[in-house]
Each structure stands twice: as structure tokens, then as C-alpha cells.
Chain A
Amino acid sequence: MRARNFLAGLGLLAAAAAGAALWLRRGTGPREHVDLYYADGSMVSLASGSPEGEKLLPIARRVVAAARG
């Protein structure tokens, strides 16, 4: 009985760890964005979905897809 409880706890722990790893992996995946750096040292980051980002990202998507096959 004790051994069974121990194994069940161990399984639960392993499942939780795997879930957490998957969630973290999903959360830190590369998100689409364009970072623009200007001569005065400032930077503007345009996220996917923003009007300006959607103007620039299709160009990048096309070229990266063509270059990386």
C-alpha cells in the first residue's frame, strides 16, 4: 500500500514536471516581431499583429522561408 502510494506520487510529480516543461517551452518560443534600431540609439519593437509589424513581417517571412527552404 505504501509502495503504491509512493509510485503514484512519483508519477504525479513526473507528469507535473513534464507539463511545466512544455508550458515553459511554449511560453519562451520565438515570437514574431521586428526590432528597428535608429542612429540615435533608440529601438522600436513591432509585434506581430500591430499595423506596422504586419507591414514588415510578411517581407521577412517570405525571405526567411525561401532562404531556409
Chain B
Amino acid sequence: MEAAQALADLTEISAQIEAAVLAKADGSIVASTTKDEGRAKQLAEAAVELVAAGSESRSEGPNLELVQLQAATPRGSLFVARDARHVVAAITGSRPTVGLVFYDLKTCLRMLEDEAKADKAAQAEKTDKTEKPAPQEQANVGKATTRRRTPSKKEADEGS
């Protein structure tokens, strides 16, 4: 699935999301629902900036990686969810259903991750097939084989 398609699905399933941007961890835009490139860039940069600042605000303790955030303002809310490779940011109205928006953002990230894994697996399988010839044992699977009697066995059989 393309990133643009994942974002389109996101805005289709979530009526509360007015604009969304998918970016790499460094803030470079992968896909956006807004046609205004400047706004998309601003949203992506703000998402990365908020994640960085939010991570700094609680740095003690193990496994305290910031995974998602909501910034609520009187004019609307900014939601950010992230995984190891991507950050997805969305703008909603002033009274969003927080859990639903987060669920939709994480679904978008998960779809991209699943797709990337599937692509990787398909690529690996393809390279395996082209590089390695099929082993002999596997080639014989399912084929009937005949056993030849050794001369000593043959003599023993005839003698008895």
C-alpha cells in the first residue's frame, strides 16, 4: 500500500480528521492530505519538534519512549503518533474523540508497517529463489524410487 493511500484511508474512516501528514522520523514528508506543501511541511516539522520536546520532558526510567501525543488548543487539536520509521500527524476540531483518533492514526502506521514487512518478505523470497538452486532432497520429494538388491542379498534370497 502506498503511503498516500494509507492517509486517504485514514481521512476517509475518521471524519474528525481535517488534515493529516505522514513523515519520516526526520520530518521529511512522505504523504499529505493537504495540497499546500508549506502547510504540510509545517505540520510535519511541528510533529517531529513536539515528539522531541515531549521525549525530553520525561527522560527518566526505562522504556519511556514517547509513542503518541495530543495537544489541545481552543481552536483545535493536534495529534501525533509514531513508530520506528514514521510519524503521522493530524489536525482535528476542538472536541475530538481522542481514543478514536489515536486508534485511526495507529492503524495507518500499522498498515504501512505490515505492507513494508510483506514487501521485504517477498523480496527475500525472490532473491532466495534466484540465488539458491533447489536442493536434491527436495527435488525427490513425492517421486517413487526403486531399490536395487545388492548381489549378496540376491544370493541370500535365492538360496532360501
Contact = CB atoms under 8 A, between A and B. Distances in A.
Co-complex (A, B): yes
Interface of A: 29-40, 42, 44, 46, 52, 55-57, 59-68
Contacts of B66: 36-39
A37 B63 CA distance: 12
Given A32-B72, A36-B66, A64 B53 contact: no
Q: Is the interface of B mostly helix, strand, loop or mixed?
A: mixed
Contact of A31 (B34, B57, B65, B72): B72
Contacts, number: 104
B74 A52 contact: no
Interface of B: 18-19, 34, 39, 42-43, 46, 49-50, 53-54, 57-58, 61-78, 91, 94-95, 98, 102
B46 A44 contact: no
Given A52-B57, A60-B50, A39 B72 contact: no
